[in-house]
Structure 1
Amino acid sequence: MLTWSIARRFRRQRGHTGFLSFISASSTLGIVLGCAVLIVALSMMNGFQGALQNQLLRVVPHVEYQRVDGTFDDWQAIAEIAYRDEAVSSVRPVIKQTAMVQAGAEFKGVLLQGIATQADGHDVFDFIAADALQQLQQGSNTVVLGAGLAEDLAVTVGDTVTLLIAERGEDAFQAPKRHRLKVVGLFEFGGEIDHQNAYTSLATARALAGIESGVTGIQLSVRNVFSADAVAQRVGNQLPSLVYVNHWMRTHGHLYRDIELVRTVIYLVLVLVMAVACFNIVSTLVLTVTKKQAQIAMLKTMGLADWKIILVFVWQGLQNGLLGVFWGALAGMGLAWLLPDAIAALEALFAVQVLNDDIYFVSRIPSTLRWQDVTLVCSVALSMSLLATLYPAWRATRVEPARALHGSH
């Protein structure tokens, strides 16, 4: 194509001018860096969102109901109602109570959960050894402590701890009673959850809470975690008793909102970074038009239409954009794939930890590359590059052949 060939020739001839070549290289380098950094940043946000869905929400209930007064005496009937909703994947009973755990002179607050060790769809089981679950089911006065909690209390499997649980009287809470429980296993998930949770069987939890029968809560898992709010309301409206409705978006939704906020900021930065990188394309083409006035005048004299002259400079500017997008996308995808291992290697080399697993629910920087993000970044970069060529290309059509040719002699 004629216009593409002329654009390539103009680009090659520009190499003889150091300043013009430097500005052009700067624009290409800016697009490379912008594309690479933004692809990596979006991949990190995808990774954190995936960790939230596939890790944290495995142990945090998607939906939970608690009776306003009393207990659920027939939780299977509630399960039947919940399973009528196609969005519900599993239902399980739970008995929750707050307690103080004592080991020696150490005291720690804990959320004690009585769980049905044979219930379906309880991902908590994935973080507890099978023999510990068996001992919870078969024995009484046994408990599984969070690994972080056990470390804080300096206890191990086989030790005995004391639980202080306040019993509720007719009018007010009474003095707490002490209960001795044997530690039969550890719950190892990571993050603050390991420091806050302990698990026991439903039978033991009933004895500790002074409940004759039933459970205090019903937990649901839903197929689409982002529909938890709607499912909670929909199923809750069908229950025969008054209940408190809770779901993960209330308890941990701030994590998801933070991720989405950062993603929105990245999209804004994407446009701004590409705009700044493309400013150099404008400068390069304006200088090229100024220096190539005689050649432009000759092309117009030979009958080259104005729209083809515009195409010449559009193609020339897009060459910078295409080159920057190509290398930027390659670098960004490579960095996104290598990021977790690269960060882990740097942590080992400098003996530092970027994400403390005592605080966060992940211990490594997650990264999930999505092709739609790569496509978005490349599309924005190419669009900004195209917009940057329009004004210089229009200026090229304003060159007056007679004046330009006269001035060149």
Structure 2
Amino acid sequence: MLMSWRLAWQLARRFRKGRERSGFLSFISASSTLGIALGCMVFITGLSVMNGFEKVLEERFLKLVPHIEFTAVEGRLQYPEELLKLAEQHPNVVAARSVIRTQGLVQKGREFVGVQVNGIAPDGTHAIADYMSTESWQSLAQPNSIVLGADLAQKLALSRGDKLTLVVASERGFKAPQRQTLTLTGTFKFGGQVDHQRGYVSLATARQLTGIEQGVSTIELEVNLLFAAEQIANEIGYQLRDYVYLDHWMRAQGHLYRDIQMVRMVMYLVLVLVLAVACFNIVSTLIMTVQEKQRHIGILRTMGLRASGLVKVFVLQGLQNGVLGITLGTFAGIVLSWNLPSLLNLVELYTGTTLLASDVYFIDSIPVQLQSTDIFAVAAVAFILSLIATLYPAWQATRVEVVKAISA
């Protein structure tokens, strides 16, 4: 058995490198190898970029976006301690935070800019602390202090220590809006629209702004199973006595994840078709080889080579192109994935264009995460398509009439 495969391999190499091989046939063979290599390279690189965006979404953006959120229907939560206790008892809840959230207008001279004000506990933990200086985070504990997004502060021409007037709608009936003078004690830089729209104050300052003397307006939960957020929210929410709006990240920001998955599926479809077209050149190459090598095939059959052995010869010949293309494409895809951020930075440097503007997106460079499973999957798909492409020409080779082939 081993000897038959060894003989088939030697014959396949001779057929592939035969001296009488035409230049056109060599061109078709090389194009099939190049097509498979390009397909594998682009496939691996594209999947690595999709993995990078998914990782950034989970590890960065969703740290600032509440995984689960319970918001009071009217004014404030009546029993926030009960909700916090239930959250702490749930095995999938990592952290629970009390928040007072409201919408307001920052007044600077004659200019008004909308801002989402988040009242948080400065003595606790919050993801936004990672995007501001330690001094800015500690300054939230000071009375009547506020930390704004860096782009919002720049738009208002505010710097550390400046005074600003914050106008907040009254939570009680139709009373006049609440105005309060606050001191800008720091800024944060997260990226995207967050830096244009958000501000953070202490819970004590938020109570003065909203008039919520007891309790809070919102409880935010962080969970360890992102895609089970809706189920966890329901399990906790159905036990509450408060009337709450129940929300989770999949409802508010799930479109980002769905967009990534949709692009991934489209990429699978398109690149599999690209590989299929490249493998079609293997079919053309082998059929032309069968036509050119009819005399050799006839001689081999008269010398006792069985039809199964002839199939092995042409399958192995076609796989040489496929395996060579897979090897080159996989190596090129790995190298390109590793160096893609640097290459794109060079493109931005020499063209003067910005691919990902930090004031629009929450990242300023293309994220890449190379996974071994993707590499093996791409190589396996390309190998299977290459193998399938060899079957028809190999079967055609067994149908060559021996007598006519020798006498030709």
TM-score (norm 2): 0.96
SS of 2:377 mapped into structure 1: helix
For 1:316-337, what per-residue CA distance to the aligned partner results, in whole angstroms no more than 9, with x for missing partners?
0000000000000000000001
For 1:49-71, what per-residue CA distance to the aligned partner results, in whole angstroms no more than 9, with x for missing partners?
11111111111111100122342
Where does 1:316-331 land on structure 2 (aligned, <5 Å)? 316-331=317-332
For 1:256-310, what per-residue CA distance to the aligned partner results, in whole angstroms no more than 9, with x for missing partners?
0000000000111121011110111000000000000011111111111111101
Where does 1:302-313 land on structure 2 (aligned, <5 Å)? 302-313=303-314
Aligned to 1:406: 407
* Structure 2 Cα separation of the partners of residues 10 and 117 of structure 1: 75
TM-aligned CA deviation for residue 352 of structure 1: 1.5
Can you give the 5+ residue segments of structure 1 that lack an aligned partner in the other structure?
A: none
Aligned to 1:241: 242
* Structure 2 Cα separation of the partners of residues 15 and 300 of structure 1: 20
Aligned to 1:102: 107
* Structure 1 Cα separation of the partners of residues 19 and 181 of structure 2: 83
SS of 1:2 mapped into structure 2: helix
In 2, are the aligned partners of 1:68 and 1:244 still within 8 Å (CA)? yes
* Structure 2 Cα separation of the partners of residues 168 and 136 of structure 1: 23
For 1:208-254, what per-residue CA distance to the aligned partner results, in whole angstroms no more than 9, with x for missing partners?
00111111000000112222111111111122322110111111111
Matching residue's letter, 1:165? V
* Structure 2 Cα separation of the partners of residues 405 and 134 of structure 1: 91
Matching residue's letter, 1:391? Y
For 1:114-138, what per-residue CA distance to the aligned partner results, in whole angstroms no more than 9, with x for missing partners?
0011223x2111112222222211x
SS of 1:373 mapped into structure 2: helix
In 1, are the aligned partners of 2:171 and 2:211 still within 8 Å (CA)? no
Is 1:141 aligned to 2:153, yes or no?
Answer: no
* Structure 2 Cα separation of the partners of residues 97 and 15 of structure 1: 81
In 2, are the aligned partners of 1:39 and 1:333 still within 8 Å (CA)? yes
* Structure 2 Cα separation of the partners of residues 234 and 157 of structure 1: 44
Matching residue's letter, 2:326? V
Q: Report the more deviating stretch, 29-38 or 348-357.
A: 348-357
Where does 1:147-158 land on structure 2 (aligned, <5 Å)? 147-158=150-161
Where does 1:262-273 land on structure 2 (aligned, <5 Å)? 262-273=263-274
In 2, are the aligned partners of 1:95 and 1:115 still within 8 Å (CA)? yes
Corresponding residue pairs, total? 403
In 2, are the aligned partners of 1:190 and 1:362 still within 8 Å (CA)? yes
Aligned to 1:352: 353
Is 1:31 aligned to 2:58, yes or no?
Answer: no
Aligned to 1:333: 334
- The percent identity for this pair of structures is 49
Task: Choose which of 146, 168, 171 in structure 2 pairs with 1:168.
Answer: 171
* Structure 2 Cα separation of the partners of residues 14 and 332 of structure 1: 33
SS of 2:324 mapped into structure 1: helix
SS of 1:13 mapped into structure 2: coil
Q: CA RMSD in A?
A: 1.3
* Structure 1 Cα separation of the partners of residues 249 and 321 of structure 2: 47
Aligned to 1:130: 134
SS of 1:358 mapped into structure 2: coil
SS of 2:355 mapped into structure 1: coil
SS of 2:17 mapped into structure 1: helix
In 1, are the aligned partners of 2:52 and 2:368 still within 8 Å (CA)? yes
Matching residue's letter, 2:166? L
TM-aligned CA deviation for residue 362 of structure 1: 0.7
* Structure 2 Cα separation of the partners of residues 339 and 64 of structure 1: 37
Compared with structure 1, are the counterparts of its residues 72 and 14 closer, same or farther at alpha carbon in structure 2 (3 Å cutoff)? farther
SS of 2:176 mapped into structure 1: coil
Aligned to 1:44: 49
Is 1:293 aligned to 2:298, yes or no?
Answer: no
In 2, are the aligned partners of 1:14 and 1:20 still within 8 Å (CA)? no
Aligned to 2:344: 343
Matching residue's letter, 2:59? N
* Structure 2 Cα separation of the partners of residues 169 and 374 of structure 1: 59
In 1, are the aligned partners of 2:79 and 2:241 still within 8 Å (CA)? no
In 2, are the aligned partners of 1:31 and 1:328 still within 8 Å (CA)? yes
Q: Report the more deviating stretch, 204-213 or 98-107.
A: 98-107
Where does 1:173-322 land on structure 2 (aligned, <5 Å)? 173-322=174-323
Can you give the 5+ residue segments of structure 2 that lack an aligned partner in the other structure?
A: 1-5
In 2, are the aligned partners of 1:46 and 1:368 still within 8 Å (CA)? yes
